[in-house]
Amino acid sequence: MTLQYYKNQLELITLEDGTLHQVLTELREAVKRATAIIKINVPEPLPKDKNTFGTIYNGTLGVALVFLRLGEQASYVADGDEIPFLASEFHELASSRLSHSVSEASHLRPGRLSPLGSATLGASVLRILAAVTGSTLQRAASLDIDILHSATESAIKQGTVLGGDEALYGRAGLLWALLQIRQRCNDEENTAALTPVFTMIPRLVTVIIETGRVGSRDYRHLYGGQDVLPLMWPWHDKYYLGAIHGIAGILSILLACKPDELDDGTISHLPIIAETISELCKLTVENAGNLPSSLPIRSCSRYDPYIQICHGSPGLLILLAQTRNNSHLMRSFWEPGWDKAIRLGSEQVWERGLLFKGGGLCHGIAGNAWPFLLLYDSYEYGKEPMTLAKLAFKDRTGSVAPEEEELTPDYFLSRALTLLLFAQKTPPFHRRESRDELEFRMPDTPYSLFEGLSGTCAAWGEACVVIKARLRKKELDEESGGTRFEKRERDELLSKYLRHEFGFPGLTLGGLR
């Protein structure tokens, strides 16, 4: 049997202030060292050779996205006089790895409209993000906005044709890009130029949802009623459930939309989204915390169930973290099975998340750690919405929801940081020095965003922000003497920290909304 993972025998870190400061120092150094390694091994492409930039998923464009993020997170990975120097270096590293050659919209392929997997669209999206988020705001190029507009028009005109909706290559990935740009665009000039694209978001949402309904009917026709979900989207003739190619990722992105964008004017999309989430949770609970990779479930004695973002429970945990951040959905539809799936799924990710494939995001240790960061935030800062959701559940059903008492903010943060620290033991960041060390596989694209060191570095940078926010909130808690946190939510410094959490690339937005 091929080795998939190592038994997790790691000791959970404690979360005292002193330990958190030590972890912050170690992760900061990891970001800086990883940056030096990536800088050497992913040199600046020749500007006119568009083919060398690749995609966001596993090419130089993904490296550029990581450096764009780190440029804004520089104050979390450095102190004092080092901050402006490091921020400038990150911005220069990003700019030199962006393709500045604008392709024509005719290069877009229907059914392949996610900027994660499309070199043309990925380059345009990154140039727009660089313009609206840089230290000196610039006007996004009209040609890039035109390409984004054309891609969105094409996605809507595609209608309910099956097979082009997942995050990596499909319309959900395009929706993520639109939402990301809108969230990060704060100046009037760029907002005005991009508004015609943003106004298309509700139609894109509706067509993705309608395709999910068609996919569900198609699945029922092919396989009967067993395990059919209310929303299903096929990819390469398989009905995947995970985050990169499947339902969990599509729903995570949909839930990042504004409430009115999840309503087409005649019907709210929230009920069918909630029903689908409930069915995914039931599948996970029935399988002892493992989300099957696809439906119908095919028994295979050769492999244990996947524990990775692209296929498996980590993708469901990302979805459930996003679900907890959507107050409208939680008040109307939350049920205890969602928390049970979080508990069982988290146990599986912790126990079997040290993947032989290494430290990356898509199928690696950092990818398995990131859902814990997202769940930490939702449990730490979402206590009042959760209380209201449980009261609403009692009103709807007459039942008091059982408590998953072990699920606390510290439960998730300790696991996230322990895994992220251990990810330093994987190549290409670390070379195995003795037989006593666990052996991890070198990724196919060792320095890329989703498979390699750049993604791990992005996770380390994000964790630095999370730790700073945690320490600030603790200060506020001590100052308040037990006053409810929600009354202190206007603290400017904590709000700034949370705004600088940028989320899992391609799947979630940053900060708490």
Q: Which of 15-24, 171-180, 435-444 has the lowest mean pLDDT?
A: 435-444
Q: At residue 106, does pLDDT exceed 60? A: no
Contact between 248 and 316 under an 8 Å Cβ cutoff? The reply is yes
Q: Which of 108-112, 140-144, 253-257, 383-387 has the lowest mean pLDDT?
A: 108-112
At 44, is the pLDDT very low, low, confident or very high (cuts 50, 70, 90)? Answer: confident
Q: At residue 301, does pLDDT exceed 50? A: no
Q: At residue 364, does pLDDT exceed 90? A: yes
Nearest to 59 by CA among 51, 47, 70, 69: 51
Q: At residue 488, does pLDDT exceed 60? A: no
Nearest to 57 by CA among 471, 410, 443: 443
Percent of the chain exceeding pLDDT 70 equals 94
Contact between 384 and 327 under an 8 Å Cβ cutoff? The reply is no
Indicate the SS3 state at residue 276. Answer: helix
Mean pLDDT of 378-401: 95
pLDDT of residue 161: 95
Q: At residue 3, does pLDDT exceed 90? A: no
Percent of the chain exceeding pLDDT 90 equals 84
Mean pLDDT of 66-74: 98
Q: Report residue 71: phi and psi, to 5°.
A: -60, -35
pLDDT of residue 105: 60
Q: At residue 482, does pLDDT exceed 70? A: no
- Sequence-separated (6 or more) residues with CB below 8 Å from residue 124: 102, 103, 115, 143, 144, 147, 148
Q: At residue 484, does pLDDT exceed 60? A: no
pLDDT in tens, 4-36: 999 999 999 999 999 999 999 999 999 999 999
pLDDT of residue 47: 66
DSSP strand E in 24-117: where? none
Q: At residue 481, does pLDDT exceed 80? A: no
Nearest to 429 by CA among 456, 395, 398: 456
Distance CA 372, CA 318 (A): 8
Q: Which of 112-116, 371-375, 431-435 has the lowest mean pLDDT?
A: 431-435
Nearest to 62 by CA among 500, 360, 419: 360
Mean pLDDT of 424-453: 94
In the annotated binding site for Zn(2+), the residues are 310, 362-363
Tokens of 254: 């949909």
pLDDT of residue 428: 98
Distance CA 230, CA 232 (A): 7
The mean pLDDT value of the chain amounts to 93
DSSP secondary structure, 8-51, as one string: --PPPPP--HHHHHHHHHHHHHHHHHHHHHHHHHSPPPPTT-GG
Contact between 505 and 458 under an 8 Å Cβ cutoff? The reply is yes
DSSP secondary structure, 159-218, as one string: TT-SS--STTTSHHHHHHHHHHHHHH--SHHHHHHHHHHHTTHHHHHHHHHHHHHHHHHH
| Burial call 141-170: b when 16+ CB within 10 Å, e when fewer | beebbebbebbbebbeebeeebbbbbbbbb
pLDDT of residue 190: 97
Q: How many residues does the chain have?
A: 513
Distance CA 462, CA 459 (A): 5
Distance CA 255, CA 30 (A): 32
Nearest to 356 by CA among 474, 443, 247: 443
Residue that wins the pLDDT comparison between 406 and 173: 173
Q: Is 269 exposed, middle or buried (0-12, 13-18, 19+ CB in 10 A)?
A: buried
In the annotated binding site, the residues are 310, 362-363
**What residues does 240 pair with on adjacent strands?**
294
Tokens of 289: 């915390």
pLDDT of residue 487: 46
Indicate the SS3 state at residue 305. Answer: coil
pLDDT of residue 45: 83
Q: Cα separations (Å) of 52 from 42, 49, 66, 101, 431?
A: 11, 6, 17, 12, 27
Mean pLDDT of 57-65: 96
Contact between 421 and 27 under an 8 Å Cβ cutoff? The reply is yes
pLDDT of residue 1: 54
Mean pLDDT of 157-177: 97
Whose tokens are 């099956």? That residue is 162
Distance CA 238, CA 233 (A): 9
